[in-house]
């Protein structure tokens, strides 16, 4: 039984995919489990290859490794619980566990947004200021930028969690989603949430618009610089170093912006749930796929590892 009183709910129930029949839920389970396994495997392979191969000990791949670790943590926060609920859709989640889930989900999700911005800045320095690249993007600078991204994620997550869970939820306990997220929880509150909505909007703008703006401006300058390169081969190589990052950026920011920057009046929970599946399952899988399929250096490192050639040769 759900334990609740006039101002407090001790447990929540995810609506998730409970509206689907068990055959559909079983099919979803198989598909999502496969994608989850591929995501974990791909990110572990990327981190391992970058760690072992000295050719990849550069700032770009340092940030890629951090992004892969963050993606893995982000996915682990959401997907195991979702898979369990697909098999048994009427499990509740304790209030405390919901707080923990949304905290880590926001921390790693926001960390990813700022890591992608940092990776865009790294490409900007590499192409537009190559002579000072090793100075600007030294080891200490890279560690500070990565730590700054995580620190921003932690700070923003604390603000959001404090804002959401300071609200009374009364007898509303069914979350119209498959994990604890800000907007579905705000819909359950039995008090005016205007201030909380404003806080959510401000955080969303800072987390999405600011990084997207920096990446957008960086790539305008990058493309302008690339077009000035005399040789066609040089232009092709410069574009190739940015293509993988730009692909991931468009999909990641695109899906997230649709959910968190869309007006509340236009928010359709079923549609939002579908998009959420994309950015919790598909986007973390894209990083290892895009960077391994489109990036020559990573492909070469994989070949060296597969054929068991000495990685330091």
Q: Which tokens in the block code for residue 46?
A: 């990327």
Beta-strand pair 92-94/11-14:
antiparallel
User: For the residues 169-189, what does the mean pLDDT come to?
Assistant: 85
- First-to-final CA distance of the chain: 63
Q: How high is the pLDDT of residue 265? A: 54
Does 164 score more than 70 pLDDT?
yes
The percent of residues in the chain predicted with pLDDT above 70, rounded, is: 89
Cα 311 to Cα 56: distance, rounded to the nearest angstrom? 10
Pick the range with the lowest mean pLDDT from 84-88, 172-176, 187-191, 289-293.
Answer: 289-293
Does 107 score more than 50 pLDDT?
yes
pLDDT, the chain, mean: 83
State the pTM of this model.
0.86
Cα 163 to Cα 182: distance, rounded to the nearest angstrom? 9
Q: Is the dihedral of CA 107, 111, 112, 114 positive or negative?
A: positive
Going by C-alpha positions, the residue among 237, 249, 251 that lies closest to residue 297 is 237
Which range has highest mean pLDDT (57-61, 103-107, 208-212)?
A: 103-107
Cα 219 to Cα 221: distance, rounded to the nearest angstrom? 5
Q: How high is the pLDDT of residue 249? A: 82
Going by C-alpha positions, the residue among 201, 198, 168 that lies closest to residue 185 is 168
Q: Is the dihedral of CA 251, 255, 256, 261 positive or negative?
A: positive
Does 5 score more than 70 pLDDT?
no
Pick the range with the lowest mean pLDDT from 68-77, 134-143, 235-244.
Answer: 235-244
User: For the residues 126-135, what does the mean pLDDT come to?
Assistant: 89
Pick the range with the lowest mean pLDDT from 99-108, 123-132, 135-144, 154-163.
Answer: 123-132
Residue 163 or residue 17, greater confidence: 163
Q: How high is the pLDDT of residue 269? A: 56
Distances in Å between the Cα of 224 and the Cα atoms of 1, 128, 151, 250 are 62, 9, 33, 19
Does 224 score more than 70 pLDDT?
yes
User: For the residues 210-222, what does the mean pLDDT come to?
Assistant: 88
Q: Is the dihedral of CA 238, 239, 241, 245 positive or negative?
A: positive
The percent of residues in the chain predicted with pLDDT above 90, rounded, is: 32
Q: How high is the pLDDT of residue 4? A: 43
13 within 8 A of 97, measured Cβ to Cβ: no
Residue 104 or residue 45, greater confidence: 104
Q: How high is the pLDDT of residue 66? A: 94
Q: Degrees (nearest 5) of the Cα angle 171, 174, 176?
A: 140
Does 232 score more than 90 pLDDT?
no
Pick the range with the lowest mean pLDDT from 73-87, 165-179, 252-266.
Answer: 252-266
Residue 252 or residue 31, greater confidence: 31
């Amino acid at each position: 039984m759900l334990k609740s009183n006039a101002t407090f709910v001790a447990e929540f129930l995810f609506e998730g995919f409970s509206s689907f029949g068990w055959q559909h839920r079983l099919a979803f389970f198989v598909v999502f489990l496969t994608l989850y396994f591929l995501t974990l495997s791909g990110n572990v392979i990327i981190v391992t290859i970058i760690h072992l191969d000295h050719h990849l000990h550069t700032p770009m791949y340092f940030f890629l490794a951090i992004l892969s670790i963050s993606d893995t943590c982000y996915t682990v926060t959401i997907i195991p619980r979702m898979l369990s609920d697909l098999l048994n859709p009427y499990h509740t989640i304790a209030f405390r566990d919901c707080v923990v889930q949304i905290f880590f989900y926001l921390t790693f999700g926001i960390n990813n947004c700022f890591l992608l911005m940092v990776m865009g800045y790294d490409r900007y320095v590499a192409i537009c200021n190559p002579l000072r690249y090793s100075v600007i993007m030294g080891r200490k600078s890279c560690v500070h930028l990565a730590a700054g991204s995580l620190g921003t994620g932690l700070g923003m997550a604390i603000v959001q969690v404090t804002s959401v869970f300071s609200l009374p939820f009364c007898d509303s306990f069914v979350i119209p989603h498959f994990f604890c997220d800000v907007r579905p929880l705000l819909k359950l509150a039995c008090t005016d949430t205007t201030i909380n909505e404003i806080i959510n909007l401000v955080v969303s703008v800072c987390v999405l618009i600011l990084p997207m703006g920096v990446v957008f401006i960086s790539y305008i300058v990058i493309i302008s610089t690339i077009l000035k390169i005399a040789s066609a081969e040089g232009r092709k190589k410069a574009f190739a170093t940015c293509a993988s990052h730009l692909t991931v950026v468009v999909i990641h920011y695109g899906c997230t912006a649709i959910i968190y920057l869309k007006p509340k009046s236009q928010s359709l929970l079923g549609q939002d749930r579908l998009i959420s599946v994309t950015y919790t399952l598909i986007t973390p899988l894209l990083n290892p796929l895009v960077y391994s399929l489109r990036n020559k250096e990573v492909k070469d490192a994989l070949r060296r590892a597969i054929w068991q050639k000495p990685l330091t040769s």
